[in-house]
Amino acid sequence: MQKTMKRKREAEEGERKKNMEIVWETPANPPQKQDYIFRNGKRYVRPYYFEFISHVNKRWEGKTIVDLFAQEFRGRPYEYYVSAVKSGRIQVDGEIVPVSYIVKRTQKISHFLHRHEPPVMASTVTILEKEPDVLTVCKPASVPVHPCGQYRKNTVVGILQAERDLAPLLPIHRLDRLVSGLLIFARNPAKADFFRQQIEAGMVKKQYVAKVIGVFPDSERVVDANVDYNAKEGRSTAEVGVSNDDTPLKGKAACTKFTRISTDGTYSIVLCEPVTGRTHQIRVHLQYIGHPIANDMLYVSENVIDRSIEGMSADRAAAISQGYQTVSFSKNLEDENQCSSKDFSIDPMCSHCPNLAPNGYDEHEEGLWLHCVRYSGPGWIYKCPYPDWASLS
């Protein structure tokens, strides 16, 4: 009887250890269909273990490994980095080092983390045209184009690879994460270079539609206003005037042409044709002329909205370098962010567990009423259907 109980305990212990084995992922691991969890209209990524890699630069050289992380990545407490080094979650050149280890220039630093990606809307990435060297899709709002910040699998590139086995895909232009519509991919470097040359030569024309506040003028409106992007605030400002030695204009020259399509007296549907391609150009130019995109909380007024009360937006969360930083988040998350051990293994060192989504994202965000409908160049045109919100009837 005792031998039977002992064998049972040993079997249970073996199974427990097996379940605790960690498989680390790197950028070389492609997304898989089973990596995604769909819940309440959102697409989540099953949290996974990931190796973040960086190399010691001049500013880091000569610091202890713990001080490096504590000073450069302040979102986690000092004690966490001590534990991470001791447990091998932080390594130097693939080796476990003591907490007093002093790093040297160009050494590879690995930080192994239990990675939680922000959720995106669960809309399908619809394929519009599939050609031997070009793929066009309708990008859903809230989904970034390619890996960036906290996003890797929850991207258009990742989803198409996981669900359609389409890779490699080379985006020839980008859309802001909250913008929907036409997205063009080259399927080989030669075609990507073909598009790049035309874009750089100013031969490609772009069209978007937006739903804006107010009755937009019925005549064509051309806006020439510099766009100055502030990365820290995550927003742009527009400026016009004459530059001189004393007060040079900020930002980069930008031009957008607007034409009203329809209006119901409260909102207007506007065709937007950017001549240049600056960050948030259409959004800030519409704000500048008094007709901001109706649901664009970043540009509906001149003042920056303080989103710290309800947590960090996914845009800001995605900008955090390499996922090292976490944000204090006091508001109770919705039930959809809670998970069980059936969804994924809880990591005892992870500051995001047991939640499914990472701390600090804004789960209430929605897609912008801004949609890319057409790209054209010499001898080619690609289009995307208008979204439902573009009809005011």
Catalytic pick among 35, 93, 165, 176? 176
Q: DSSP secondary-structure letter at 148?
A: B
Q: What is the pLDDT of residue 201?
A: 94
- For the chain, the 3-state helix, strand and coil shares in percent, each to the nearest 5, are 20, 30, 50
* Cis peptide bond upstream of 168, omega within 30: yes
CA 38 → CA 34, 46, 127, 196, 259, distances in Å? 11, 10, 20, 36, 39
Q: What is the pLDDT of residue 181?
A: 98
Q: DSSP secondary-structure letter at 101?
A: P
The single-letter code of the amino acid at 38 is F
Q: What is the pLDDT of residue 351?
A: 83
Q: What is the pLDDT of residue 203?
A: 96
Cβ distance 363 to 333 under 8 Å?
yes
Cβ distance 135 to 169 under 8 Å?
yes
Which CATH number is 48-115 given? Answer: 3.10.290.10
Three-state SS string across 296-327, please? CCCCCCCCCCCHHHCCCCHHHHHHCHHHCCCC
Q: Label residue 15 exposed, middle or buried (CB < 10 Å: 0-12, 13-18, 19+).
A: exposed
Strands (DSSP E) found in the chain: 36-39, 42-45, 48-55, 90-92, 108-115, 120-121, 126-130, 134-139, 170-171, 180-186, 205-213, 221-224, 226-230, 235-239, 255-263, 267-274, 370-377, 380-383
Q: What is the dihedral angle through the alpha carbons of 55, 57, 63, 67, rounded to the nearest 10 degrees?
A: -60
* CATH 3.10.290.10 placement within the chain: 48-115
* Superfamily of structural domain 204-310+364-393: Pseudouridine synthase (3.30.2350.10)
pLDDT along the chain (393 residues), means of 10: 59 47 79 94 94 93 96 90 95 96 96 94 95 98 92 96 96 95 98 96 97 96 94 88 66 95 97 95 96 94 44 43 34 46 78 87 82 97 97 82
* CATH 3.30.2350.10 placement within the chain: 204-310+364-393
Task: Tell me the sheet residues that pair with 110.
Answer: 53, 91
The Cβ of residue 127 has, within 10 Å, a number of other Cβ atoms equal to 13
Q: Using CA atoms, how far apart are residues 166 and 159, in angstroms rounded to an integer?
A: 9
Q: What is the pLDDT of residue 158?
A: 96
362 is catalytic: no
Q: What is the pLDDT of residue 2?
A: 61
